[in-house]
Structure 1
């Protein structure tokens, strides 16, 4: 059996390299001895017959309307994947497009697909561009990345990805970052996220494998590579002044 990881709209939604999270999943699955492939889906016509995980990266505001138009063609599939336990990782504007909607400073809005609770709203201050350190809800693990957004996110207080230790996250003094519904994750964490946080990548791969009736155990090569990721994380945490980590 070959696991299929779809990266949605990579030509539009890859501003921060977040579409490459799909490549991380494929590589780690291969290191674990599983057959896996990545499929770039730019329109509904590109959809493979079976989908085991989905990655939707972040794009620019200039591409919001076009990205929404293309994602609407996949609305039924996205809803079916989300309710059927298919892992979906959405980052930045990709996450916002899966929400209830995006509000603009001029009072106009972009209607979201309603896959995830909450909506993106204009920040009262300047754009946030800084390191982001989060304690993951449920596991207590540290997640690291870089946030770069001009909007806050409201309406997801009951199901965050985690608690902000350093950075802004969802904003509005919530102290929270991201949103999770089942196996669907929305986050501001760029990096790409899964390269910087291999434990989260393995969690997604475990869910993928279990759904397909397979067993995922990180391979020896993954353990070697993770030492480099760990060193990079420690350096970033030290620079951000994040003490008392779980690492």
Structure 2
């Protein structure tokens, strides 16, 4: 898929008033939604950095990693530094693992690790001036830390608090369907729109471009819309792996 092709898909849906939703499902996860609510409400103070760990190809599962960081940051990426798994992999168009440093237009900074992550598999760390949220153990464990009064020079003492959980945890699939129905009925974009999917793809390509240029800073949007990245999802053929499994 090239950036130009992704641009065309998003534009076609916009022109025909068709809602496009991209299945980066953590946007519909109640724990991520609550974390985002706390961020928007200022309960964590000013967000300084988001760190994400998830061993993956940058345009396949990496799209989920990048999109989750964008969702939590609440802004758009303006420039990046990237490091790919090897010079040889970075020179080609196939999906590849990599790490990256992302700068957002609202001042948030992020680091993501798509290379091997050891014991930190699909974990996210949101660091603010007044609080911190960690989603660890594959996002099955939740940690909330906030500053409480006291400490040297009155700077506050970090204290762990219970993460606020909903009384009932809805299924993510149900939440996705409800959100898409709401988007169709109201004309408002779904939680993860075509534009969000395009943005994640562009970040992945920008990280690779940074490596290709010797690790230099790459600004977004990318001028070269012919850049291509072939997802591991269609590496075997043009049929998505999920569809192929259903046909077997």
Normalising by the smaller structure, the TM-score range is under 0.3
Higher strand share: 1
User: Which structure carries more relative contact order (alpha carbon 8 Å, separation 6+)?
Assistant: 2
Could you say which structure has the larger radius of gyration?
A: 2
Q: TM-score, normalised by structure 2?
A: 0.25
Larger helix proportion of the pair: 2
